[in-house]
Amino acid sequence: MDLLRSLPLGLYLEQPQTWLHKIDPRVKFAWLMSFLTSYSFANNYWRVLLVILLIVATLIARIPLRVWRQQMGWLLLLSFFVLAIAAITPDALGVDYQPRLPANEQIITQPATTKTNNVVPKLAGDNKKYSYVLFHQGPVRVTRRSLDLAISISTIIFTLIYSTNLYLLTTAPEEITSGIESLMQPLRRLKLPVTEIALTLTLSLRFIPLVLEEVQNLVRSVMTRAINWKKLGFKGAIKVWMIVAERLLENLLLRADQMANAMMVRGFTSPNQHRVQWHDLRLKARDWLAIALLILFWGVRLAVGTEA
């Protein structure tokens, strides 16, 4: 099992360089925030559209199939199971709904007369059938509300996880921190430690592959010992995994201490005195095009994506 390849969460794809890599990190961050916030108070059509946009963007960017196939596959499978389970789950409305039309259709089709012998005209929409329960077979019951909640939850899970992962996949950690630091410059007037926050974010992003590597090494060490889990029993298995978790924590603290010592050896005293300009953040033609598309994105969202 290779977690760094089978589950590359939070890892940066250095090669090949796609058009998503070349967009300014600040513009990509604005797109990410738009994906994460536009589904709030949106209808399900818009939420499904967000999923389609993410899939299309991945295909158009020509990201290698080996990189996104397993991630997207597992996410789509998870979203499908959430959709199926939530659709058949009771909708929490404990009300026995009656059909809009009466059981005896002659009541509305037969002309009714009043005391003045005036005939009540038949309404134009009376022949349209409405059913709150969309599917009911045995214990399986799908209502309009349960289906609506199922679509909402499943699309939000996919959008939240995959949009973030796509951003990390096509943006280097140094670009992320440089872009966020640039966007946070107005907060310096409030005497907030913007540079320290950016440095902490850089170290945390660099630490993600180390965590996956340590987990992978410990799992491999347990597998190579051919432990007979049946003989150990439940309590024995819990003790083994507690030892593994303790060892994982020790290794991670050791890695953090090594990083701190490396910074001290290089004379690091404060972020302001040891600034490294990783990237020259300048908006180019493709960035302005992405900004124009982002404005169009929000225009469509406000026009047709708002929940009624």
State residue 34's pLDDT score. Answer: 92
Q: Got the DSSP string for 124-162?
A: TTTT----SEEEEETTEEEEHHHHHHHHHHHHHHHHHHH
> Could you read off the pLDDT of 212-270 as tens digits, one per residue?
788 888 888 888 877 777 777 888 888 888 888 888 888 888 888 888 787 777 666 66
| Separation of alpha carbons 130 and 148, rounded Å | 16
Proportion of the chain above pLDDT 70, given as a percent: 78
Enumerate residues 6+ apart whose C-beta is below 8 A from 14.
Answer: none
Residue 190: left (phi > 0), alpha (psi -120 to 50), or beta? alpha
Enumerate residues 6+ apart whose C-beta is below 8 A from 74.
Answer: none
> Looking at the predicted structure, is the pLDDT value of residue 2 above 60?
no
> Could you read off the pLDDT of 136-183 as tens digits, one per residue?
777 887 888 888 888 889 999 999 988 988 888 888 877 888 888 888
Name the most confidently modeled range: 17-21, 205-209, 266-270: 17-21
16 prior amide bond cis, ω within 30: yes
Element (H, E) at 36: helix 25-38
pTM (two decimals): 0.69
Nearest to 8 by CA among 92, 65, 68, 58: 68
